[in-house]
Each structure stands twice: as structure tokens, then as C-alpha cells.
Amino acid sequence: MSKILKRKCLQFAVYFLLLILPSQLLFSQEKYTVLLPEIDKGIPVESDQNLRIAADKTGNETAKSFFKFNFNYLPVHAQAGLLHLKLYVIPNSVVSEHSVQTVTVLKGHNNWTGNETNLNDANLDWAKIKNNKEGPIGVAEVIKNSEFIAMKLKIPDSSKFFPFFLPDGILSLAARSPEKRQGTKFFSSATAEASLNFLRKPKLLVTYTIDPYPFRTDWAQPFANSQHNSFLGWQSKSYTTTAQVRKLPNTRNEYIQEAGILIYKNQPVIFTQATTGSSTVFYVRQLNAKGAVLWSAGVDAAPKCSPLIDEQGRLYYISTDNKLTLLDMNNKGTVLFSKSLSELSNRQIGKVNNTVTLGYDGTLYIPSDKGIFAVSAFPQLKIRWKYEQKENEINGPVSLSTDESKAFFINVDQKNERSQLIVLDNLDGSLIAASDYRLGSYANDHNYYIPAPVVQDNSRVFVLNGFDSGNKLFVFDINDKKEIKTQNIAADKGISQPVIDSSSNVYFVYNNKIAKYDALQNAAIVFDGSATLDNASILITDASSNIYAIDTYNQTQKKVTGIRNNSADPDYFANSFVVDINTDAVGNPRKKLALAPDGTLYTATATHVLSITPVTVAAETTTINLDNLSTNTVYRASKTIIVEGIDIEASINTILNSGGSISFKSGLRVIKGAQLTCKTGF
């Protein structure tokens, strides 16, 4: 066993100063999402189940369409931007070329149930213009060739957090028109789904921002977040100079699944298989930093791909038996939902054949042998759109633009052994653009290993011409004209999957050295002093541009490496630490690396979880004052951390991790709503 693994672990204590109250001070970038209706119904009911809006020759409204949308599916503390009701027109060949029907929308109460059959039902009185005090909140015109109408809704107080302008989270709408002798039919959810026109379901387009502190602190995981950019949004105020590898106990002698390690509330989550007699074979377990099991939950089979965690602490687990199970991680893994994907989708979703993605809004993007399906947030779980693949095609995982308005994935033409980048409008699944067939087949024997595009922003994505390493890194830029510009950089020995930091710098291993992408030159800036890394190394990064690599292919020594990139001098790199993994003691590490907010790195072998923690960091003493206090930040020091007598405001969520002591000066106040986590001992 190596000296590092023999080293006696420091005793450490963890204590919390935690007062929870929502902060409403800081907001993230605007994002886009879609809400499907809980109820959409035409009254009176049409025999074909379509929606209809019509009036007779006197202007008396004879048919209206009603909708009920549930905003409770949106992320916690979302704040609305714009709302648009979008309805898809069913073509009518007998309509005059000069016909124009004005459609307006009314907002009403939520007492109606969807069982009403007559427009004169008392529950629908609000849908009569004379009874509606607010009047129309949206308007659009239908002409002969209209494919859809999209009405911007003017709702009082909609710019507030959703619970304030919708106390119960429900929005009821009625679409109507008094135009004489005019009538228009629209797709309903039922008829759109029955005809496989999923994108033509009625929908509410929503833009929103969200308070990210402290609600979304550490649940997005490397290569499992919606951009697949391996970025954790926490800063580190000091960097590791020497590190140690700790083997966490595996008292049950379980096999650790290859799905990887997730992080939730700064603690690792693993997926195991029992090796001794047990009625339950497969488990999800959360550990503490010492490896003790905090809770366990049995699941039906091995994970098909890396499970996912949403911002409310719900874990999405898709098994090799094609079953979706949701666990409540805030309640010891209690099962919230479990159902086969076939049953969930009325046999639409086939066998999952690649990594599933979770959007910020809770939408699941599921690649299967029947195409890619976007499934709305739990608990609704309805198909939003479907990308139908052709014969002899297979698709890779979906990546999303940072505002989640676009979906990117690689489409492989198996017959001709070539691939292209596909870009969809994520609001309805319609095609925005497709690249030329510049990419290879991603085939290895009879299997396909298709990577996820790595998204830098809303219009630029990076795609490696290989799963974990390749000789070309393609750069695709999508412009406003829906055109794709393609560039690439090549390497003799190989290139790894790229990662992206908080400043949009793109890093990768290039010919066995760490490098950064230069957009102006379309070239790699190589750190010549870099530790030598295999070109298939896994990289992750944090908001301070610290880069971490796990090299599992090195034939002489498996290792984890830390590298610094100075944001003040973007072309400056320096090695931070290198620590070897004693494979004789623990086995070969998997190609998985996870970074916790406190700076701990985790990886695993078939039998052990390994944590990589500091022995020393660059700062011996760190003093925290108002000038350097920031949220989503870990402060570290080898000897002591001193906190001045300051106010820790409600918007602050931070971690103090000292190898020695932490002291607080007189006058310190932690304001209700702040989250301060203190840890002594590395």
C-alpha cells in the first residue's frame, strides 16, 4: 500500500451555521421552458377531439377552448419573464383567402374541472367577456395559411415569483372569438399525440429567471448537467498543493456500478450491487466524507446511465429494465415514483440507448431506439416533443444551450458510417439546423459510443470526433440565419473531451498536455509544463478555473492531477498537484471524477470509493472580510481561517475548510437565510 494510503486520516469535525430563508437578491440568466396543459378541452366537445373556436352569424360564441396550466412544475422561486400561449391550427381548405379570425384569451378562476360540456355552465361564466373584469389578456389573428398562433399574455404581477401572482400555481385560460361565421380548429394534446404530432400540442412558452442562491448549490454533475461541460459553479479561494487518496470503507463488499459518482449537499452518492445473498441486489447509497452510509434505497436493476439530481433533491434513476424511479434524497431515498418508460409514454418511448439529460426546468431528454423524447417535469411527465430517427440511425445524448432554448445532439448514419450535429428548437422539437456529415461513425465493433456535444453558450458547441479521445475537435457555430459554421483543430496523438469554465474558457488534453482553445486563431494553446496526461483523461473544472484530471489509461501509474489557470492572465498555467492511485491496493479507477463544493474529488474502482483531499493548500492562513466574502465559494487554509466581525448576508452560501482551526471575531452575525458550513481537518 502506498504511503498516501497508509497515512493516518486526520480527525475532522463538521459543524453548520444554517438558517434557511429564500434570498431574492441575485438572478441567473434568462431561461426558456414550456408548460403543457393539465387540461385542454374544447366546449362543446368535438367528435374528433380537436379544439375549436367559433361564433354564429350574429357573433354569438358557439365554441371555446379552455386550458389549465400548472406553474408548480417550474423550478423553485422562478420569476416569470414572458408568457405566450401557442396553438397549432388544423388546416381548412374551404377557408377564404381573405378570411381573418381574431382570437382573444381570457384569464379565469380555477374552479372548472374539465367535465363541463356546455358554455353556459356556471363554472365557465368567467369565459364570457361581459363577466370578465380583466378583459382579454392576449390576442392573435388566424388567416388561411396560419400554422399556429402565439399570443403574448399580459397578466398583472406576472413579473413576480410565481406563488405571488398565482397563489395556487394554476393558470386558467379560455380562447374565444366573436367573429361572425368564423371557426378554427386547433390540435389538442390528445389529437397531437394520437397523430404523433407531439410538437403541435397546445403549450405555454415561458421565459424565467431564478434565484440561484442558495437553492441550486451543488447538484449539477460533470457531464450530466444540461450543457455536458463538466463545470461546477463553485469558486475556491485557495488551491491544493499536495493531496492524498483515501479509500473509503466498503463494509458490505459490494460491487460499485460504473454509472459514476454524484454529489448532493456536498456528499457522494454511489450505485452498488450486492455480492452476497439479499432480496434486494441494487442500491443507491449516500455516504458522508468518511464513507459511512447516510441512507440507502433499493432499486429494480442496474443503472442504464448516470442517474440525475434535480434542484429539489429528486434523483432520477433509469434502470437497464427501462424503468424510471424517482427518489427523494431529502427523505432518505423514499421512492416518489416508479414506472416503466413504456407504460409512462403509452408505449412511445423505446429502449434507452444512451445517456439521459435533465434540464434546469426538470425536462428529461431520453434517447431511445425509437428516437429522442423530451418529457415534461415531474410529476406531469408528458411527452413535449419527439425527434423521430430514420432507419439505420442512432442518436447520442442531448445537450442544451445555456438558456435551454436549443437542443443539440449527434445523429449517426449507421449505414454510411458518418455523423452530423443536429440542432432543435427545444420549445417544440422542430429542426433549426443540421451540420454536414463531418463526424465519424463512433462505432467500436458492434457498439456505438456517442459523446454529448459540449456547449459553451447559446450558439457554440464542441464535438470530439471520438467518445473519450479523438484526433479532431470540431467547433460548430450556429448563427441567426440557422446556418452552421464548422471549424476543427487536429492533433497527432489525440484530444480529450473538452471542459468549460465560468469564463467560457475551453480546456482539453492535446497531445498529452493540457491546452486551451483560442477562438481567434482556432488553435490550441498548449501548457508545455503540463504533467503528461493520456489523451482520454477525464477533466472537470470549477468557477476559479482550477482544472482536475483523472488519467486512468496510464500504463505505469494511474493518477489525479490538479492544474491552475490564472483568470487574470488566461494564458498562464501551473501544475497544482499530482497524486498517484495505488492500484495494487484498490484496483483500477473508473473513468469517473466528481468534484464536491468543498473541493473534495471523488472517483471509484469496482470495489472502493476514493476521495482525494488536500494535505496542504497554498494559503496557510485565510482571513475573510467584507472585501473577499462571496457566495458559492469554498475558503481553505492549511493552518487557520479567521472570520472578521462582519455580517454574513442572506445571499451567502459558503464553505470554510481549514486543515487546522477556524476562529470568529467579535461582531460576526449570520443573517437569517445565509448558509455557512464549517469543516476542520483535511
What's the CATH number where 154 sits? 2.60.120
Q: What integer pLDDT is reported at residue 517 of this predicted model? A: 96
Q: Which of the residue ranges 118-127, 371-380, 494-503 would you say has the lowest mean pLDDT?
A: 494-503
Confidence tier at 164 by pLDDT (50, 70, 90) = low
- Name the residue among 666, 566, 660 with its Cα closest to residue 617: 660
- From 210, 243, 278, the end of a domain falls on 210
User: Residues 252, 206: one domain?
Assistant: no
How many angstroms from the chain centroid is the CA of residue 404?
9
- From 566, 582, 617, the end of a domain falls on 617
* Rg (alpha carbons) of the chain, rounded to whole number: 27
Angle at CA 231, nearest 5°, toward 441 and 397? Answer: 30
d(CA 583, CA 553): 12
Q: Is residue 502 part of a domain?
A: yes
pLDDT tens track for 637-658: 999 999 999 999 988 989 999 9
d(CA 187, CA 206): 20
Confidence tier at 2 by pLDDT (50, 70, 90) = very low
Q: Is the pLDDT score of 322 beyond 50?
A: yes
Q: What integer pLDDT is reported at residue 78 of this predicted model? A: 81
Q: What integer pLDDT is reported at residue 567 of this predicted model? A: 56
Ramachandran bin of 545, using left for φ above 0, alpha for ψ from -120 to 50, beta for the remaining angles = left
d(CA 107, CA 85): 12
User: Residues 330, 430: one domain?
Assistant: yes
pLDDT, averaged across the chain: 90
DSSP 352: B
HSE, side-chain direction, 13 A CA sphere, residue 427: 18
| Mean predicted confidence (pLDDT) in 86-114 | 89
Q: What integer pLDDT is reported at residue 582 of this predicted model? A: 92
CB 239 within 8 A of CB 608: no
Q: Is residue 221 part of a domain?
A: no
Model-level pTM?
0.92
d(CA 115, CA 129): 21
CB 426 within 8 A of CB 373: no
How many angstroms from the chain centroid is the CA of residue 56?
49
Confidence tier at 407 by pLDDT (50, 70, 90) = very high
User: Residues 169, 261: one domain?
Assistant: no
pLDDT tens track for 190-202: 999 988 899 999 9
Q: Is residue 19 part of a domain?
A: no
Reduced to 3 states (helix: H, G, I; strand: E, B; else coil), residue 6 is helix
pLDDT tens track for 46-91: 999 999 999 999 999 999 999 999 999 988 778 888 999 999 999 8
User: Residues 452, 557: one domain?
Assistant: yes
Q: What integer pLDDT is reported at residue 34 of this predicted model? A: 97
Report the domain count for the chain.
Answer: 3
Q: Is residue 586 part of a domain?
A: yes
d(CA 54, CA 455): 45
Reduced to 3 states (helix: H, G, I; strand: E, B; else coil), residue 349 is coil
User: Residues 138, 270: one domain?
Assistant: no
Share of the chain above pLDDT 70, in %: 91
User: Residues 163, 288: one domain?
Assistant: no
Q: Is the pLDDT score of 677 beyond 90?
A: yes
Q: Is the pLDDT score of 128 beyond 90?
A: yes
CATH number at residue 430: 2.130.10.10
Could you tell me whether strands 138-143 and 61-70 are parallel, antiparallel, or unpaired per DSSP bridges? unpaired
How many helices (H) and strands (E) are present in the chain, helices listed first?
A: 5, 58
Q: Is the pLDDT score of 27 beyond 70?
A: no
Q: Is the pLDDT score of 285 beyond 90?
A: yes
User: Residues 613, 527: one domain?
Assistant: yes
Q: The dihedral of CA 13, 215, 332, 540: what is its sign?
A: negative
Would you state the cell numbers that stand for residue 526, as one nine-digit string? 498548449
DSSP 347: T
Q: Is the pLDDT score of 18 beyond 50?
A: no
- Name the residue among 245, 293, 290, 246 with its Cα closest to residue 272: 293
CB under 8 Å to 606, separation ≥6 — which residues? 255, 256, 587, 588, 590
User: Residues 651, 541: one domain?
Assistant: no
Confidence tier at 20 by pLDDT (50, 70, 90) = very low
Residue 82 CB-density burial (10 A; 0-12 exposed, 13-18 middle, 19+ buried): middle
Reduced to 3 states (helix: H, G, I; strand: E, B; else coil), residue 585 is helix
User: Residues 629, 613: one domain?
Assistant: no
CB 389 within 8 A of CB 373: no
DSSP 189: H
CB 169 within 8 A of CB 70: yes
Q: Is the pLDDT score of 556 beyond 80?
A: no
CB 264 within 8 A of CB 218: yes
User: Residues 176, 298: one domain?
Assistant: no
Q: How far apart are the first and last CA of the chain?
A: 21
Q: What integer pLDDT is reported at residue 569 of this predicted model? A: 67
Q: Which of the residue ranges 4-8, 241-245, 369-373, 432-436 would you say has the lowest mean pLDDT?
A: 4-8
Query: Which stretches of 159-304 are DSSP H helices?
Result: 162-165, 189-194
- From 210, 245, 280, the end of a domain falls on 210
Q: What integer pLDDT is reported at residue 371 of this predicted model? A: 96
pLDDT tens track for 231-240: 888 999 999 9
| Mean predicted confidence (pLDDT) in 617-636 | 95
User: Residues 192, 242: one domain?
Assistant: no
Q: What integer pLDDT is reported at residue 276 of this predicted model? A: 84
Q: Domain span at residue 167?
A: 30-210
Q: Is residue 455 part of a domain?
A: yes
CB 339 within 8 A of CB 379: no
User: Residues 302, 392: one domain?
Assistant: yes
Q: Is residue 2 part of a domain?
A: no
Q: The dihedral of CA 662, 263, 457, 472: what is its sign?
A: positive
Confidence tier at 21 by pLDDT (50, 70, 90) = very low
Q: What integer pLDDT is reported at residue 28 of this predicted model? A: 54
CB under 8 Å to 95, separation ≥6 — which residues? 144
Q: Which residue has the cell 416508479?
A: 338
Q: What integer pLDDT is reported at residue 22 of this predicted model? A: 33
Give, in order, the Cα–Cα distances in Å from 204 to each of 39, 42, 207, 425, 602.
Answer: 12, 17, 10, 15, 41
Confidence tier at 212 by pLDDT (50, 70, 90) = low
Q: Is residue 419 part of a domain?
A: yes
Q: Is residue 94 part of a domain?
A: yes
